[in-house]
């Protein structure tokens, strides 16, 4: 908050939900700030449908957020300017002047330490643990896993982790009480999850199985 308050111009690197939501918050709450968002993909919010991406880009443009797609920025490679701000260089050779920057690119799960344990062969190329339908590590009866670190093929969202936890807790309780493994609860990923990305104080872009809408109503 202090950095944003002091800055006249702000660079945001990353066009996923974190970068988009941050840009929207700044554009709505302090619209006098110049905000530039740089994303290395062909569209914002690549984990949802193109229609939602297009609506989000249009919304940001209407709030005077400058969006640069198909470009990346190495924030460590910048130069100081006499006015106190810095010049950043994009992968396509463009220059961006900004008083501060926020790095909003995705990071892998913090599972590297597991590669030094007996579970090392159960980690996939994305750093995620291979789990069965009961939320146990494959081949292990009593080690349960929930959240982003699972290799379940679904979007990594908070409400999914809550559903994981309910299944794991139910199964732990069953095993601790001596129940049969055939009675273990099974986790079934949703086929078309709802996705909501907030845009400032009141608006959101929402993707449901039947439609995509943006603005105050879904907010």
Q: Are 99 and 6 in contact (CB under 8 A)?
A: yes
Please give the helix or strand (H or E) that residue 54 lies within, else none: helix 50-62
| Residue 181, pLDDT above cutoff 80 | yes
Confidence of residue 217 (pLDDT cuts 50, 70, 90): confident
199 pLDDT tier (thresholds 50, 70, 90): very high
pLDDT bin (cut points 50, 70, 90) of residue 159 is confident
Report residue 32 as tokens: 């006098």
Q: Is the pTM of this model over 0.95?
A: no
Burial degree of 100 (CB within 10 A; 0-12, 13-18, 19+): middle
pLDDT band at 191 (very low <50, low <70, confident <90, very high): low
Across the range 85-108, mean pLDDT stands at 91
The pLDDT value given to residue 107:
74
Percentage of the chain modeled with pLDDT above 70: 99
Give, for 214, the enclosing helix (H) or strand (E).
strand 212-215
Q: Which residues contact 138 (CB under 8 A, 6 or more apart)?
A: 122, 130, 131, 132
pLDDT given for residue 192 in this prediction: 59
Looking at residue 106, its pLDDT comes to 75
Half-sphere exposure of 8 (CA within 13 A, CB side): 5
**Is pLDDT larger for residue 131 or for residue 82?**
131
The CA dihedral of 135, 140, 143, 147, to the nearest 10 degrees, is -30
With CA atoms as reference, report the closest residue to 186 among 152, 147, 135: 135
For residue 108, the Cα-to-chain-centroid distance in whole angstroms is 11
Phi, psi (5° rounding) for residue 114? -70, -20
Lowest-confidence segment of 60-64, 122-126, 173-177 by average pLDDT: 122-126
Which range, of 80-84, 90-94, 122-126, 141-145, averages the lowest pLDDT? 80-84
Q: Label residue 153 by pLDDT band (50, 70, 90).
A: confident
pLDDT over 90 (residue 182):
yes
Answer left, alpha or beta for residue 41, where phi above 0 means left and psi between -120 and 50 means alpha: beta
pLDDT of residue 125: 87
């Amino acid at each position: 908050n202090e950095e944003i308050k002091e800055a006249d111009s702000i660079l945001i690197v990353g066009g996923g939900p974190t970068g988009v939501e941050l840009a929207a918050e700044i554009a709505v709450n302090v619209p006098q700030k110049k905000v530039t968002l740089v994303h290395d993909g062909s569209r914002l919010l690549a984990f949802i449908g193109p229609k939602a991406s297009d609506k989000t880009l249009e919304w940001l443009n209407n709030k005077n957020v400058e969006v640069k797609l198909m470009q990346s920025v190495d924030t460590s490679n910048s130069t100081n300017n006499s006015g106190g701000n810095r010049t950043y260089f994009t992968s396509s050779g463009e220059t961006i002047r900004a008083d501060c920057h926020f790095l909003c690119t995705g990071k892998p799960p913090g599972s590297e330490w597991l590669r030094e344990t007996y579970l090392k062969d159960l980690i996939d190329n994305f750093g995620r643990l291979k789990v069965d339908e009961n939320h146990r590590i494959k081949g292990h009866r009593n080690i349960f896993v929930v959240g982003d670190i699972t290799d379940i093929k679904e979007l990594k969202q908070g409400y999914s982790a809550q559903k994981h936890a309910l299944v794991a807790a139910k199964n732990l309780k069953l095993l601790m009480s001596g129940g049969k493994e055939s009675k273990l609860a099974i986790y079934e990923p949703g086929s078309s999850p709802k996705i909501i990305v907030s845009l400032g104080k009141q608006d959101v872009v929402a993707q449901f199985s039947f439609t995509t809408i943006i603005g105050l109503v879904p907010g």
